[in-house]
A and B are shown apart, each in its own frame.
Chain A
Amino acid sequence: MSGVRVLVGTRKGAFILTADGARKRWKVSGPHFAGWEIYHVKGSPGDSNRIYASQTSGWFGQIIQRSDDGGKKWNTPGSSPEELKSPDGTPKGESNKFVYDGVPGTHQWYDGTQHPWEFKRVWHLEPSLHDPEHVYAGVEDAALFESKDGGKSWKELSGLRKHDTGPKWQPGAGGMCLHTILLDPQDPQRIYVAISAAGAFRTDDGGKTWKPINQGLHSEYIPDPAAEVGHCVHRIAMHQSRPNTLFMQKHWDVMRSDDGGDSWREISGNLPSDFGFPIDVHAHEPETVYVVPIKSDSEHYPPSSRLRVYRSRTGGNEWEALTKGLPQRNCYVNVLRDAMSVDSLEPCGIYFGTTGGQVYASADAGDSWKPIVRDLPAVLSVEVQMLP
């Protein structure tokens, strides 16, 4: 690998940060799509030039953007200048058409009544591990969509939303979003997703049927703390070499499963708070896990106003604070669920962005940190794309 590209989505545009393998000097480009909310930007593992972005606005709705040259030029899929001049017919302009399959039905609203499913935005884009044209989208209100033509058109994998428990799903504070999509590198039929506030789900048949995988989760804030669904899962992470082992940051509690989500156990251990949003796994050490503790569900900033990443080298329970280079006083930023990522260089690089607009990077697996940029709009997502 010759370098790394860090893709940053913010409240007011996207930024692309690029460095060589040393990760010392960074080139910053952007804002792309200035003024729009960029919930997620993610590169294809199968093509280092292919990047997808979710661009949204309360006024003008959802836009999907795609770059085929590493982020220099962007087009809504199907409407590049070449395609618009194509004699093959007028592009359909359906790259932002997310329509639920059939009659959408209802889910539980904040007050316990039933509320119609309404598409609002794409929270997360997950490109296939191999095919750059194949990409999944996790949306609010919670559903999973799939495109096999590079984002030109989308089809819902409706077995998830139509699960028997669907009417019991309810929105978390940020809306009822499907925010996590994990593709099993060893079994292309197996996909994990997580929804706030429904919980985690798994398919073993490519998305046709789904099962809730929330056994072992305990959430005091819902009527039945051990319910089949209703848990506010914030993020799930997996190491590519061990796809049956999952790490979860829940609304409260850090959890672990070693059986593909069939059962979970708590690994919060000595964390100063087990509330938080992101969680990720070291690229080369499947038992090394990172979280960013946040004080509480109502005080979304670090405990003791010290920004600390916590690392466990034992797969949980025993955590060490990583503070070198991070603000250790008067810090009141948050780190959102999709705003942490790792690279696969040696040593492993860790990146995270804050609601204060800083993007911090560590080129030594978390031992020390430096801001790459520090005055962006509030950061919503951080993803890494490796460059050949």
Chain B
Amino acid sequence: MIRVVLPPHLRTLARVDGDVELDLNTTVTQRSILDELETRYPMLRGTMRDHVTQLRRPLVRFFACGEDLSHESPDAPLPEAIAKGSEPFVIIGAIAGG
């Protein structure tokens, strides 16, 4: 079971409380997590990565185990702790005022 922490605005949009729990039957990567999230919550499509290019939106960042993975390959396997669910995959909106 993988745990994903969404930023508050996306939690509201997806109508979820707290962490999202996902089961993945594939290698756990940024891409496989986002694919599953968007399948479960289609209203999140386009909010974290571009519809067409699939590139991360500039003010969205991905963290795991205290590390900023925003600039890592979306197909790189994530740490074991994420795959096992002992640590969450964290999606945040960059601190940029507002």
Contact = CB atoms under 8 A, between A and B. Distances in A.
Contacts of A76: 13, 42-43
B48 interface: yes
A93 interface: yes
B10 A60 contact: yes
Contact of A59 (B9, B41, B42, B45): B9
A231 B57 CA distance: 32
A99 interface: yes
Nearest to B42: A93
A97 B60 contact: no
Contacts of B41: 79
A117 B38 CA distance: 26
Nearest to B52: A99
B52 A59 contact: no
A62 interface: yes
Interface residues of B, number: 24
Contacts of B9: 35-36, 57, 59-60
B42 A58 contact: no
A60 B43 contact: no
A61 interface: yes
Contacts of A84: 42
Interface stretch (B25-33, B65-73, B75-83, B90-98): B90-98
Contacts, number: 64
Contacts of A92: 42, 45
A38 to B, nearest CB: 13
B97 to A, nearest CB: 9
Contacts of A62: 46
A35 B9 CA distance: 8
B42 A60 contact: no
- Which of B10, B47, B94 has the most chain A CB atoms closer than 10 A to its own CB? B47
Given A63-B13, A91-B42, A92-B42, A58 B98 contact: yes
Contacts of A75: 43
Interface residues of A, number: 24
A34 B98 CA distance: 13
Q: Is the interface of A mostly helix, strand, loop or mixed?
A: loop
A60 B39 contact: no
B5 interface: no
Contacts of A61: 46-47, 57
B57 A60 contact: yes
A304 interface: no
Interface in A63-115: 63, 75-76, 78-79, 84, 90-97, 99
A78 B44 CA distance: 12
Contact of B43 (A57, A79, A97): A79
B46 A59 contact: no
Contact of B94 (A59, A90, A99): A59
B42 A79 contact: yes
Contacts of A78: 42
A63 B57 CA distance: 14
B93 A94 contact: no
A58 B59 contact: yes
B93 A97 contact: no
A90 B46 contact: no
A79 B98 CA distance: 28
A91 B43 CA distance: 9
Contacts of A91: 42
A93 B59 contact: no
Interface of A: 34-36, 57-63, 75-76, 78-79, 84, 90-97, 99
Given A91-B42, A96-B51, 4 more contacts: A35-B9, A75-B43, A93-B45, A97-B51
Nearest 10 A/B pairs, CB to CB: A93-B42, A93-B45, A59-B93, A60-B47, A76-B43, A59-B59, A79-B43, A97-B51, A91-B42, A96-B46
15 contacts: A59-B7, A59-B96, A59-B98, A60-B9, A60-B60, A60-B93, A63-B47, A84-B42, A93-B42, A93-B44, A95-B43, A96-B45, A96-B51, A97-B45, A99-B51
